[in-house]
Structure 1
Amino acid sequence: MTERMNTTEIFDGVRFPGFIHTPESLKAACSFQFQDTDILLVTFPKSGTTWMQQVLSLIFCEGHLWPIHNLPTWARVPWIEQISFDSLHSKRNTSWPRLFTSHLNAKGLSPALMKSKAKVVYMARNPKDVLVSFFHFHRIAGFLPNPSSFEDFVDEFLEGTGFFGSWFDHVKGWLSLQKDLTLFFVTYEELHQEPRFTIRKLSEFLGRPLGPKEEDIILEHSSFSFMSQSNIVNYSLLSKEIIDQSEGKFFRKGVVGNWREYFTPELNEKFNAVYQSKMGDSGLCLPWTMD
């Protein structure tokens, strides 16, 4: 597999790391047969994906924590567009509904989804925090190029020419389907600020209402301190060639607003102008400030 480490796949105009995607795996995801009981987590990278994979697993494991301590998140809630999907999917826990993850945009995936009543959990995060987290991830992931500079990375992000495409198109594309899909919209910020309330709302949407004790178990095992220390969750099971955590941790900070340490006033102004032009008329109610 390592020979694909530096390859790039272009699929429907969007760049994907070839180490974990092939044209076949991407096409297969777009024609995947969803079942009515399936639950799909969709995110743009670095928007709290691993965190929500952990929360979803905990909601459905009903206090039986063996999978939480023994199965990596990517095996419990696998990415449908990745090369590893078939092998992981065949080993899944059949006592749960099928839980999946995707970073694909709505244009590619929604036609397949609309053929079922599958539930979608769409998680978003302040794009400035996404950008900073993605910048650091590029530095530790062997299958992504090392950014030349933070400023260049910002430009690529704003233009939507980086890996996984445009954050703006991703968010707007998925949220424009709220009337067409059974979709629960949640943000990193909400889960960070009001974890119990947010998890309760999510579990009700999923038809799995929780008792206070179950909520306590979920809060404990989806906390930053638990996840960052768990080898099953923190990606330390992967080889150094894939993710080199001597260069920086996969779980870096788990905070809101860390972008302020990286953005100069000039970069901030530039970002805000693009954000306003792309999101100003979206009509979306997003719980973050651009200041």
Structure 2
Amino acid sequence: MPYFKYKGIPFSTEFFSEETLSYVENDFQLLDDDIVNAVYPKSGTHWMAEILALILSHGDPSWVQSVPLWERAPWIELDHLKIALKKPPPRLLTTHLPFQLFPKSFLHSKAKVVYTLRNPRDAMVSSYHFIKGFKELKDPGTVEEFMERFLSGEIDFGSWFDHVKGWVEMKERANIFINTYEELQQDLRGSVQKICHFLGKELNSQQIESVVENASFHKMKDNKMSSSSTTPENIFDHTKATLMRKGISGDWKNFLTVAQSERFDDAYWKRMHGVNMTFPWD
């Protein structure tokens, strides 16, 4: 699978183009009532998209059950951009872009961003399994080989460390809300209430209950509009991988050896030194 670099960050030629990335960064206009779901890959993207869609629907699941996720919350850096450009406001959008490649128009808009991050060990293991399903992407090799590429940032969207640091630096902005996959797991209801507050959406307890219920792992796995079953067979081999694999935290412990775990920890603490935020996995 050939990669190209856009401003030093790798992207696979199969899914991305320099032209689209440049357009999104420099020309795409975010609107004041846009809500953007920003996430490093395999860190809760679909989960948060589902939560946001359910909040916008006041807990009514009919939208999430009838419209594919990529149409409800299109990725702006992919072909889905065409859908995003045609969508009437208020738009729900998704991106894996690091902050430095995010639309510059954001800095002068009231658009709201919900940024979700996850223990990088789990994000890495989840990516490792997910990549196996893509027919055009190179086999990730052994866990050890993939871990080295992950730690060096030689994968789509670049380094997890740079991605997280770039977004976390923006956390004081009133229109960015940062949360973690682990917090969603520990207290989904509490997280939904915080997100509602951030978005200025007042939902009653019954509506919040419906958001929580319909954004559960089992409900989403059964919902064909939210799982990867809508990904065309020519792109994704559903026998080799699944979008919603386990939906748990700590699965990395089943894959990394003690030596690999120590190698990862060493890289993590070197790269995250001085970041002004504590995470549930620290």
Q: TM-score, normalised by structure 1?
A: 0.92
Distance in 2 of aligned mates of 1:266 and 1:7: 31
Q: Deviations over 1:256-284 (max 9, x none)?
A: 10000001000011000000101122121
Aligned to 1:255: 248
Distance in 2 of aligned mates of 1:106 and 1:283: 17
Distance in 2 of aligned mates of 1:113 and 1:144: 32
- 1:63 CA displacement: 3.8
- Which of 149, 158, 166 is the matching residue for 2:142? 149
Aligned to 1:67: 63
Aligned to 1:76: 72
Gaps of 5+ in 2: none
Q: Secondary structure at the match of 2:108?
A: coil
State whether structure 2 residue 71 is matched by structure 1 residue 103.
no
- 1:17 CA displacement: 2.5
- 1:181 CA displacement: 5.5
Amino acid at match of 1:189: E
Distance in 2 of aligned mates of 1:64 and 1:73: 15
Q: Do the aligned residues in 1 keep the contact of 2:76 with 2:84 (CA within 8 Å)? A: no
Aligned to 1:16: 11
**In structure 2, do the counterparts of structure 1 residues 233 and 49 end up closer, same or farther at CA, with 3 Å as the change threshold?**
same
- Which of 28, 47, 55 is the matching residue for 2:51? 55
State whether structure 2 residue 209 is matched by structure 1 residue 216.
yes
Query: What's the % identity of the aligned pairs?
Result: 35
Q: TM-score, normalised by structure 2?
A: 0.95
Gaps of 5+ in 1: 1-5
Distance in 1 of aligned mates of 2:13 and 2:73: 21
Amino acid at match of 2:101: G
Amino acid at match of 1:234: S
Q: Which moved more, 1:110-119 or 1:197-206?
A: 110-119
- 1:180 CA displacement: 4.0
Amino acid at match of 2:100: K
Distance in 2 of aligned mates of 1:64 and 1:147: 39
Aligned to 1:284: 277
Q: Deviations over 1:158-199 (max 9, x none)?
A: 111122100000000011012346110010000011000000
Distance in 2 of aligned mates of 1:267 and 1:51: 28
Between the two proteins, the alignment pairs up a number of residues equal to 281
- 1:84 CA displacement: 2.5
Q: Secondary structure at the match of 1:33?
A: coil
Aligned to 2:113: 120
RMSD: 1.5
Amino acid at match of 2:42: K
Amino acid at match of 2:134: A
Alignment of 1:162-241 (within 5 A): 162-180=155-173, 182-241=175-234
Q: Do the aligned residues in 2 keep the contact of 1:39 with 1:100 (CA within 8 Å)? A: yes
Distance in 2 of aligned mates of 1:187 and 1:63: 21
Q: Secondary structure at the match of 2:176?
A: strand
Distance in 1 of aligned mates of 2:232 and 2:33: 34
Aligned to 1:42: 38
- 1:250 CA displacement: 1.5
